[in-house]
A and B are shown apart, each in its own frame.
Chain A
Amino acid sequence: MNVAEVTLEKKYHRAVEHWRRHWLPDYETLLAQWDRYFPQDEPFCLCAKMECGTPDRVAVGEHAGEAKRLAPDELSEEEARHLLAIIRAQASTEFGSIQQHSGTLARAQDDEDRFWVLRVMAEELRHGYQMFHLLLSQDWSKAAAGVRGEEMVEEILSMGTGSHVLDAFNLEYDSFVDNVCFAALVDRVGKYQLTMQKVCAYKPMADSMPPMLREEAFHLAAGVIPMRRWAKRAAQGEGFITMQGLQRSINKWYPRALEMFGDERGGDSNVRMGFKDMKNRQAQDLYIEEVRRMIRDINARYLRARFPGYTPEKSDQVLDEVERSRGRHDGVAFEDLLRLPDRRFFRRKGEPAWTMVGLEGESFAEVDDYLRHLAQRLPEAYLAGGDMKRYAETLRLVVSGQLGVEDAIRKMPRLKRVGGNCPCSRAVRWVVEEPAS
């Protein structure tokens, strides 16, 4: 495992640093405290990391067996545009999640939790930087008929919560529970995307994946480990975070996470062009099973903390029994445990878009009944926000037949105008490196 580290041309590097000063103001604190929270770990490096020695041949699709493409000009226009859309979406998620995390980071109750999330944010910045390297180190304009990497980078740096490519990155966090549930659920989709892209027929993209995946393993831990600890404390009646609070956050993020895979019926072109090795539904199915395991694991942690005298076998048996009967066991109700929402719950994209399916898979006929069902299952602060309001308005139009499902899918999210997101109002123009005034 040999990795080459690359830095962007100065003006682009500075633009990322400038962005970082706005959205990751604790970056210097993280670096100063790095050895305290991550002793012996390699110091953080804001650079692109390219894995050496990855396969040279295309693994899947219509070019399988051919040499991997090393430059944009070796791709057809269709392929170049398609790949650029993947890179743009990937980059948008990296920068978008930092903006989301920064909103509630300070509300962490525990310093270790906060520093773990800070490290996640810094690594997401590196991932965004990595995607910029792909856009900027080679000329895409011929292959993609005039699309310039530099313009794409400028656009991505000007996106904010509300104007990102994927819906999951357009929702604000409501509390620190969201920082953690997001890492456990949404970063997990990221892991799937990166794993699928390891085969990418465009070699610089494939080479970017292994170093990102190594970092992503920690992001998932930064989600699951605090969730396990919160479940334990909830069982012992300590702390502020309840199992119901965790469940509400899961209900908020899980539907958006599922939609990040793309429409369940799609993904053929990714495989055909050799950019990913799985279609959307196939990857989503695996993801769902993994989240099911995660929830089971957290529930087991809760039960053992609640009944310290139980053996693991007894605890398993109780878990199975309560899940099956939806009843109670010695003071623990079915509602005290976490559960996996139905894959059609609260969806606005993909196959089940705008159907009214409840958490347990039950169907609703009336919009008001369904909205009441959602109101009892989503975080209170989220219910009061703009996303929920737009969702409810759109749902009414769809159910009354005034808006087609396809049009409704395109309507969410309502994009904010891109640009002007830099709080210093100089936008993200390249040469912004004057001393702060």
Chain B
Amino acid sequence: MPEVQAEVRIRPLDELDIGSIVRIDERITGAYRPDLWEQRIGYYLRRDPEASRVAESGGRVVGFMLGDVRAGEFGIEEPGGWIERFGIDPDYRGRDLRTRLVSAILAHLRERGATKVRTLVDRKDAGVTGFLTALGFTPSPLQALERHIEPRESP
């Protein structure tokens, strides 16, 4: 894979990245989900195209991170950043792309006046949790809670 050596550039997401993101997701999960990504990328582009970034090497997108600034959710009034999805082409792992993507997004969130950035992780996913901890993420006082909804249940 000679292009692994090529220089990596981080830039804002655009609409022509959909195909590449679908492909990275497919390599990671084994599922081809273009409809999902068309819908999601439409969302991120209309919200704030600079809050999401891709990593490009030799003209090919090899990683992505989708983020957003929101206010008024969960009773938090001040604008806060969210990083919601990311993926790195398995051939490009171990090259610190996630760190570079996060840094680019943090710089943008700072410019937009956000003082906090949040994300949700699966506690069982030690890899992702470890990576986020290394980047300075700490457990939040806000805790994600969930419960099962039975198909037919009286209220």
By a beta-carbon cutoff of 8 Å, the part of chain A in contact with chain B is 1-2, 38, 40-41, 119, 214, 217-218, 220-221, 223-225, 228-229, 232, 290, 293-294, 297, 300-301, 304, 308, 312
25 interchain pairs, CB-CB under 8 A: A1-B50, A1-B108, A1-B112, A1-B113, A40-B47, A214-B48, A217-B49, A218-B45, A218-B46, A220-B14, A220-B45, A221-B41, A221-B42, A223-B15, A224-B15, A225-B15, A225-B38, A225-B41, A225-B42, A228-B18, A229-B38, A293-B16, A297-B16, A297-B19, A308-B32
Residues of B within 8 A of A229 (CB): 38
On whether the beta carbons of B38 and A300 are closer than 8 Å, the reply is: no
On whether the beta carbons of A228 and B38 are closer than 8 Å, the reply is: yes
On whether the beta carbons of A225 and B18 are closer than 8 Å, the reply is: yes
CB of B85 within 8 A of chain A? no
On whether the beta carbons of A294 and B16 are closer than 8 Å, the reply is: yes
On whether the beta carbons of B45 and A217 are closer than 8 Å, the reply is: yes
Chain B residues touching A, range: 20 to 34
CB of B87 within 8 A of chain A? no
Given contacts A1-B111, A304-B34, contact A220 B48 (CB under 8 A): no
Which B residues between 29 and 85 are near A, CB-CB below 8 angstroms? Answer: 32, 34, 38, 41-42, 45-50, 70
Residues of B within 8 A of A304 (CB): 32, 34
CB-based nearest A residue for B47:
A41
Residues of A within 8 A of B113 (CB): 1-2
A224 to B42, CA, bound (A): 10
A229 to B41, CA, bound (A): 14
A217 to B41, CA, bound (A): 11
Chain A min CB distance to B105 (Å): 13
Residues of A within 8 A of B45 (CB): 217-218, 220-221
Could you list 19 further interchain pairs (A-B, Cβ under 8 angstroms) beyond the known A221-B46, A224-B15? Answer: A1-B50, A41-B46, A119-B46, A217-B15, A217-B49, A218-B42, A218-B45, A218-B49, A221-B42, A224-B16, A225-B15, A228-B18, A232-B34, A297-B19, A301-B19, A304-B32, A304-B34, A308-B32, A312-B32
By a beta-carbon cutoff of 8 Å, the part of chain B in contact with chain A is 12, 14-16, 18-19, 23, 26, 32, 34, 38, 41-42, 45-50, 70, 108, 111-113
On whether the beta carbons of A214 and B16 are closer than 8 Å, the reply is: no
Residues of B within 8 A of A312 (CB): 23, 26, 32
On whether the beta carbons of B15 and A221 are closer than 8 Å, the reply is: yes
CB-based nearest B residue for A291:
B16
A225 to B36, CA, bound (A): 12
Residues of A within 8 A of B70 (CB): 40
A290 to B49, CA, bound (A): 18
Residues of B within 8 A of A40 (CB): 47, 70
Chain B min CB distance to A346 (Å): 24
Chain B min CB distance to A280 (Å): 22
Chain B min CB distance to A43 (Å): 13
